[in-house]
Structure 1
Amino acid sequence: DQAENLEQAIEYLKAALQVRTRKDFSYEWASTQKNLAAIYEQRILGKREENLELSIDCCEKALQVFTYENYPVDWATTQINLGNTYRHRIYGVPVENLEKAVAHCENTLQVFTRDNNPQKWAGIQFSLGTLYKNLGEFCKRNPEQNLEKAIECYQNALSVTEREVFPFQWAEYKNSLGNAYRHRVQGDKRENYRKAIACFQEAKEVHTRQAFPKDYVKTLGNIGNAHQKVGQLGEAYKTFKEAIETVESLRGEITSGNEAKRKLAEEWNKLYQWMVKVCLELGTTEPEYYAKALEYVERSKARNLVELLANRELPKGKIPETLWAELQQLHRAISAEQRILEDAERLTRIEHDLFRVANPHLEISLPDRTKLNQLQQQYDERLASARHIDLNFSLTQQVERISCQEIQELLPDDKTAIIEWYILDSGQMFCTFIITHQGVQPIWKSTSKHLEELEKWRVEYLTTYQERKYQWSSDLAARLKRLAEILHIEEILARVPKTCNQVILIPHRFLHLFPLHALPVSLETWLRYNQETECLEPATNPCLLDCFREGARYAPSCQLLQRLQQEQRPEFQYLFGIQNPTPDLYEDYEWDLGAVGAIKKQFADSYILKQADAKKSEILRFDENAKTVTQHEELLKAHCLFFFCHGYFALVAPLDSGLQLADKCLTLGDIITHLNLKNCRLVTLSACETGLTDFTNISDEYLSLPYGFLLAGSTNVVSSLWTVSATATALLMAKFYEELQQQTNIAIALNTAQCWLRDTTVQGFQDWLSQSKLSRIWQRELGKYFNQIEKKQGATTKPFESPYYWAAFCAIGKGV
């Protein structure tokens, strides 16, 4: 494990410093400090910003001994390390860090010259070029001057780097020179982009798809970007199309650690963003490209899910044992071959650097991907068989496309609409797709200013939620009003036909964190959708869900929605429940307030694991000897799962997010890999923050507990977006399950319960209690609670009118 190896190296070097003191072994002490600096710069564990500061400190200590006069080469190489660390430094002012990095790199040119060490000199020139480019492009520090310096440095590096001897360095230098031309301020814009494209095309001759597909994709991205900037949208579309097809053929090939995996995934995600932007621009004159933009949005989400799950154990789902074993064996063989190829690619580059200087004509074999291609072909053949058995299984294993026509066919009638958001990189835009039976409606596109406002709103919302929850809950209604303005929800709804009575919301990235169904709307908008409603009474403070009588629900993506709609779950008689599994939920007070008991009465049969018995080891039974996992037999029978427990989301490792049970956590990884909910119609997560997803990641995957349960087989999930009020949640859940006795539509049942909780007065709750299925004990307890409110605020007050109480829960999935 690379992280463990680096930690061990740090311990060994620290131990060496106990012997190699500066006083007794000054040169060895300085060398050890220099080596320690390099390890800290690469360190995986710990905070990145602190590791970089430690690296700088070690370099500066080494330079106390390594002076230009006494040890010029050691001095120069330490200067290089120090420059590299300042380039990546997080603390301090970015411009100042880059300028310090430039100074350190320029110092080394006193030792390494073009004549005495041309390759070292070329590497320093390349580093300087990158620093000048970053100063000009990102920091906007004298961009005209610094970008000219960058071009000069890259050209210097290329002047001593022959393609035949150092093809990989040469291609990297060409790529960087192309990027410098792409951002150049001086000269004719079109001529600069022509030069940039020429550099990228030359680099592509080395970075071929067959030998180095990841570099090939990066180079294609640069070419497509350059075409887009000069308005050559057709060429940009073709180039991005080829790059994306290559990316999708590389499923699971990011094997070099979590950080590298995340970084590369985010780089590839930009390809989809660029493609969507090109399609939107083409769509202004050729509307069919709007449909293509939507298709690439969906493909982006599909690829990220496949990549995330690629190197984990295969989920079993409903796959027969023999077929699953074959797939698992091929899956492991593919992963092993990918690691071999990654090592071979790395060694090929090293061999070029080491041997072709002395022997330029030496032929070094390129990585052979034939075996990997054969294994993937076998895997795809077996996957096709699995797809007929378990629709969700193939969704986690390969990027499957969905056409705009197929998306339209997801709509059950002409009274249903899909609203799907998509956020492009910072400084660009976000857009909203509206899909009806008539096709993709005119797309709403924001300005860069709107995106800045959205980002600012997001930061303020999350910061206040994490640090000042009382203020956050008090201000929630006002915050949602501002979000509605930023998203231009009125303009979006104006494009949804007024005949629609049902809406499916598909958020993107951090929009998954917010209750879009609770966004306030104007009375005019509400009236537009309620003109034919009998006994029409004007809504007091209408919101989006009030506009759609047949429900507002969510879906992670159109592709997953397509799979869910193909599943049939007509039965709803058997309940499997987890009730108050941790002591804080039952020792002094049963925090479900009797809701689980009331819900249980509405099912013909049930199985409840309560308090200390509600263990992960009961749900999933691990056999250490046989290395197998079997789930509780009652789970296979369950039509409904109900969890009343604590939930949490792990930002650093989303697959470790989970539900806290009596012994251990049931993680998202466990849910996807081991649960088979083939008979389940609804999973209700009556716990805090069970609907959260990774808002720090720019990738598109909607990885959360609800998504995990959908992939495990359930067709619907109800989950929460924030830490919820226990009383309000118990009442909402009791009413929600009451509604489910009257109708099969889960979204309508939840929306009805939410409106009831929002609009009901103290007197109304008191009247309802005696008719509810809550036990007499809890009827009395809640009666006392409402009596106290009545004394203070009166019988007509609405105690749960704030969205804090009723808006946290979302219905995600098929709907019925």
Structure 2
Amino acid sequence: MDEQRLQAYYQLIESLISCPSGEEPEILAANTELLDAGFVQVVKLAAEHFAEQGNDNTANWLRNLAAHLTPETPTITEADIEIYLRFILEVLRTTAESNGDPQVIYPLLAANTDKLNPIFAELLRRWATNTLVDAEPNTATSIGAYIGNFSSSIRQFPLGSKANHIEIAITGYEIIQTVYTRTAFPQQWATTQNNLATAYSERILGEKAENIELAIASYTAALEVRTRTAFPQDWAGTQNNLAVAYRNRILGEKAENIELAIASYTAALEVRTRTAFPQENAQTLLNLGILYQNQKQFDSAYNRFNQAIETVETLRSEIKSGEEAKRKQAEEWNQLYRRMIEVCLALNKNTEAIEYIERSKTRNLVELLTKADSKTTETLPLVNNSIKFPEIQNLLDNQTAIIQWYIFTDCFRAFIITRDKLTIWQSEEKDLGKLLDWLKNYLFLYLADKPKWRSELTAQLSQLTQILHLNQIISLVPPHCQKLILIPHRYLHLLPFHAIPLSANNTTTPEYLFDKFLGGVSYAPSCQLLRFTQRKAQNLDNSQLNQLSHLLAIQNPSNDLIFTDIEVETIATDFQPHQILKHHQATKTALATQPVNQNLNNSQWLHFSCHGYFNFDSPLKSGLKLADAVVSQTPANSNSSRHLRVDDETNLDLDKCLTLEDIFQIKLNNCRLVCLSACETGLIDIKNNSDEYIGLASGFISAGAANIISTLWAVSDFHTALLMIKFYENLPKYQYNMPLVLNHTQQWLRQATQSQIIAWLQNLANMQVTQKQLIIKFLEEQYKPKHQPFKKPEFWAAFCAISPVF
């Protein structure tokens, strides 16, 4: 071992032994270039020396230090050395050739996650130590650069053990400090200190308090080189990072740590201005706001969050690369809006909380509609699309209430909005846990075992009543409000709120939520979209509403839904003119060909009666199956993005389906209703955190439909046909109020006996006799006269109305 380095080891040990208690982490952080395997070995020898002298306290402390600096490493065999060294060299070569590009490095790591472990870290240290001792200066700096780039890549590698990745990164940063010394390479040394500090902050192994101290010491060391004068941008970045470390600090006085964090954030903002560095400005403002919020300094938190939101919305208005970039930006900053909502509530700025909820939700769709409505080709700033609370109240008449849900990190809240009042209900934290557990079970059963899901649905909805405390929330709606608009949040969009029982299901006739509101229960993605659909509905020509006309229907493209044929053919007789694309005629090509495409664009009533599906992994590939869409197997030479496997037996050619991507391109000029009489047409993407409403319904809202009927799960064509035929029959009876029509139709279907349904069928003038006989025969074979065949929610509750209730 080099005599000079050995002397440095001894001096460091002496400094650690003689320093005041608590300063050890700072000393270690300032000397990380010495913290290698050689140093650990010297520490162990020193520990034995002190033990022989009878100084057990110092000996034990040194033993603990050596253990801390030595990750638990399994026995390394000769075979391990050969295998791992070959892999290490391949990793470094790939890093060098790609200039540290993660897209090149990550596939190699993904194929070898079993080797990203303590053995890798130890052998990387050994190889680097041995190689760098005899390397030429230029070679040593190149190796240091490769190891540094690799360390930064593996620290963020998403697969495998995060704890192991961070330990490997720390090893790498410690190695390169022996190359990039402060004297010879001050800028690279400071960068390494900053990276090492970040790794310590993220470290999973070891004592958290000690890791934070190591991070603080390394950030502080970096700032000795990263001064504001010499490197202002780096200085600001490290100040922001140091503030986070002080905010999370365990040791020391809490009040002092908070003041140090505030000082560092404030310093960072001197450079990270909205004009110069808007992204960094927003992030630092968010961090500072979180600190103030955690300290219950809500006014200061409000001011910082407000500034951050202004910056974020300016950034959003400048995005030119498309909707996907905007969705990702919304996901990135969702936390900012949520925290602002929390702070508004803490300050009793309740109506402002609602306004920020609206600013955070369905932003892409709102902007698309705003752009279409204004006839402009430029993207409009989000701030111009916001809605104020008085405007929300003006959407309501005296008989209508809104229940808007919002999910926080520790609870969920229901905001009850009427024409003249706002009431807020808040759950307990345990309720949110119960809701998440309930939802996981609900979705797991639905995706894995639909028969069991159906058999348990009634009981599940009863559990949901208790978890949501729905009776308490409904009691807050004024009695004079007979119409209800539900605005769910995130995964709550998947739930049939209208069909949640308010009374026990063991009663003869359980009361469901929509039984409570005689004027109808509908849904809306947000208040802003409610405003758009209201305007759309108000602008429709109602002069000939009682003369049903301009229907375009898609009828059973797969030709395997017997009762769907009856449904469409019966409904269509009341519409003049009407056009039906039946069976093999219902192709995607036909929809794009004139005059069908013109009829599609100008239809007042659009009815899809076919198979539908929702793809949780690729929501934009969700859609409606048209003719010839099902293929027995995916062709070997097919573009993989063109075909989708929806279950064990079905592959779809997406070029022959009407996908959500396609629906976003449709323009409906005068459409009163899009009725999606198909499976899963009301489901949305719940995996992203952008609060965007991504599903088939959003596509038709974007297209211009005033009302939409959709489904929350897979439905059979038999009971769907009965419900749809009755729905269209009820339209004039309830003045074309879609939610009211749907609710009454659902109540009828669930309450009707077999004999009552047969009597209704016999009196239908617009259904063919043979079709009546087919349905009646099925009813008579399956059910007894006094039996209520469709009493359970599984038969009727899937259908919901996304409508502007007046």
TM-score (norm 1): 0.76
| Aligned equivalents of 1:615, 1:549: Cα separation in 2 | 40
Match of 1:98 among 166, 169, 181: 166
Distance 1:781 1:631, change over 3 A: closer
Residue 592 (structure 1) aligned with residue 652 (structure 2): no
| Structure-2 residue corresponding to 1:299 | 359
| SS of alignment partner, residue 113 of structure 1 | coil
Give the superposition deviation at 1:124. Answer: 2.4
Residue 737 (structure 1) aligned with residue 728 (structure 2): yes
* 8 Å contact from structure 2 (residues 403, 486) kept in 1: yes
Report 1:374-773 matches (<5 A): 399-413=384-398, 415-424=399-408, 426=409, 428-441=410-423, 443-522=424-503, 540-567=509-536, 568=538, 569=540, 570=542, 571-572=544-545, 573-580=548-555, 582=557, 585-586=558-559, 588-620=560-592, 632-651=597-616, 653-662=618-627, 664-675=656-667, 677-743=668-734, 744-772=736-764, 773=766
| Aligned equivalents of 2:470, 2:732: Cα separation in 1 | 33
Distance 1:444 1:315, change over 3 A: closer
Residues 227-272 of structure 1 show CA distances to partners (whole Å, capped at 9, x for unaligned) of 1121211111122112212222222545689987655422211111
Give the superposition deviation at 1:672. Answer: 3.1
Distance 1:116 1:49, change over 3 A: closer
Distance 1:440 1:173, change over 3 A: same
| SS of alignment partner, residue 592 of structure 1 | helix
* 8 Å contact from structure 2 (residues 98, 104) kept in 1: no
Residues 144-175 of structure 1 show CA distances to partners (whole Å, capped at 9, x for unaligned) of 22222221221122222122232222211111
Report 1:227-242 matches (<5 A): 227-242=292-307
What is the aligned length? 678
Q: Which has the larger radius of gyration?
A: 2
Residue 282 (structure 1) aligned with residue 347 (structure 2): yes
Give the superposition deviation at 1:661. Answer: 2.5
Give the superposition deviation at 1:737. Answer: 0.9
* 8 Å contact from structure 1 (residues 422, 432) kept in 2: yes
Give the superposition deviation at 1:716. Answer: 0.5
| Structure-1 residue corresponding to 2:135 | none
| Aligned equivalents of 1:222, 1:301: Cα separation in 2 | 22
Give the superposition deviation at 1:684. Answer: 0.4
| Structure-2 residue corresponding to 1:357 | none
| Structure-2 residue corresponding to 1:33 | 94
Give the superposition deviation at 1:656. Answer: 4.2
Q: Supply the RMSD in Å over aligned alpha carbons.
A: 3.5
| Aligned equivalents of 2:105, 2:443: Cα separation in 1 | 27
| Structure-2 residue corresponding to 1:390 | none
| Structure-2 residue corresponding to 1:188 | 253
| Aligned equivalents of 1:112, 1:82: Cα separation in 2 | 16
| Aligned equivalents of 2:603, 2:105: Cα separation in 1 | 43
Give the superposition deviation at 1:304. Answer: 4.9
Distance 1:767 1:160, change over 3 A: same
Report 1:328-347 matches (<5 A): 328=377
| SS of alignment partner, residue 666 of structure 1 | strand
Residues 277-330 of structure 1 show CA distances to partners (whole Å, capped at 9, x for unaligned) of 0011111xxxxx1111011101111535468x6xxxx998577xxxx5xx44x5
TM-score (norm 2): 0.77
Unaligned 5+ segments in structure 2 are 1-82, 133-139, 628-654
* 8 Å contact from structure 1 (residues 251, 398) kept in 2: no
Residues 429-470 of structure 1 show CA distances to partners (whole Å, capped at 9, x for unaligned) of 2211000123111x1122332222222222222122111111
Give the superposition deviation at 1:118. Answer: 2.5
Match of 1:265 among 330, 351, 360: 330
Distance 1:44 1:639, change over 3 A: farther
* 8 Å contact from structure 1 (residues 95, 141) kept in 2: no
Give the superposition deviation at 1:746. Answer: 0.7
| Structure-2 residue corresponding to 1:535 | none
- Matched residue type, 1:434: I
| Structure-2 residue corresponding to 1:119 | 187
| SS of alignment partner, residue 609 of structure 1 | strand
Unaligned 5+ segments in structure 1 are 1-21, 284-288, 332-378, 381-396, 527-537, 623-629
Distance 1:183 1:785, change over 3 A: same
* 8 Å contact from structure 1 (residues 155, 177) kept in 2: yes
Residues 739-788 of structure 1 show CA distances to partners (whole Å, capped at 9, x for unaligned) of 11312211111111112222222222222221234322221222221122
Report 1:165-180 matches (<5 A): 165-180=230-245
| Aligned equivalents of 2:432, 2:182: Cα separation in 1 | 47
| Aligned equivalents of 1:290, 1:768: Cα separation in 2 | 50
* 8 Å contact from structure 1 (residues 207, 213) kept in 2: yes
- Matched residue type, 1:204: L
Taking only the aligned residue pairs, the percentage that are identical comes to: 40
| Structure-2 residue corresponding to 1:343 | none
Residue 201 (structure 1) aligned with residue 266 (structure 2): yes
Residues 170-202 of structure 1 show CA distances to partners (whole Å, capped at 9, x for unaligned) of 211111111111122223333322221221121
| SS of alignment partner, residue 608 of structure 2 | strand
| Structure-1 residue corresponding to 2:22 | none
Distance 1:35 1:643, change over 3 A: farther
* 8 Å contact from structure 2 (residues 95, 101) kept in 1: no
| Aligned equivalents of 1:621, 1:247: Cα separation in 2 | 43
| Structure-2 residue corresponding to 1:69 | 130
| Aligned equivalents of 1:418, 1:769: Cα separation in 2 | 37
| Aligned equivalents of 2:92, 2:393: Cα separation in 1 | 65
Residues 341-390 of structure 1 show CA distances to partners (whole Å, capped at 9, x for unaligned) of xxxxxxxxxxxxxxxxxxxxxxxxxxxxxxxxxxxxxx78xxxxxxxxxx
* 8 Å contact from structure 1 (residues 122, 157) kept in 2: yes
| Aligned equivalents of 1:174, 1:711: Cα separation in 2 | 44
* 8 Å contact from structure 1 (residues 580, 591) kept in 2: no
| Aligned equivalents of 2:226, 2:527: Cα separation in 1 | 49
Distance 1:468 1:544, change over 3 A: same
| SS of alignment partner, residue 811 of structure 1 | strand
| Aligned equivalents of 2:441, 2:743: Cα separation in 1 | 28
| SS of alignment partner, residue 551 of structure 2 | strand
| SS of alignment partner, residue 602 of structure 1 | coil
Give the superposition deviation at 1:96. Answer: 4.3
| Aligned equivalents of 1:51, 1:204: Cα separation in 2 | 42
Give the superposition deviation at 1:522. Answer: 2.5
| SS of alignment partner, residue 756 of structure 1 | helix
| SS of alignment partner, residue 770 of structure 1 | helix
| Aligned equivalents of 2:126, 2:326: Cα separation in 1 | 39
Give the superposition deviation at 1:683. Answer: 0.6
- Matched residue type, 1:639: Q
| Aligned equivalents of 1:39, 1:576: Cα separation in 2 | 59
| Aligned equivalents of 2:277, 2:622: Cα separation in 1 | 35
| Structure-2 residue corresponding to 1:4 | none
Give the superposition deviation at 1:220. Answer: 1.2
My pick for the range that moved more, 449-458 or 683-692, is 449-458
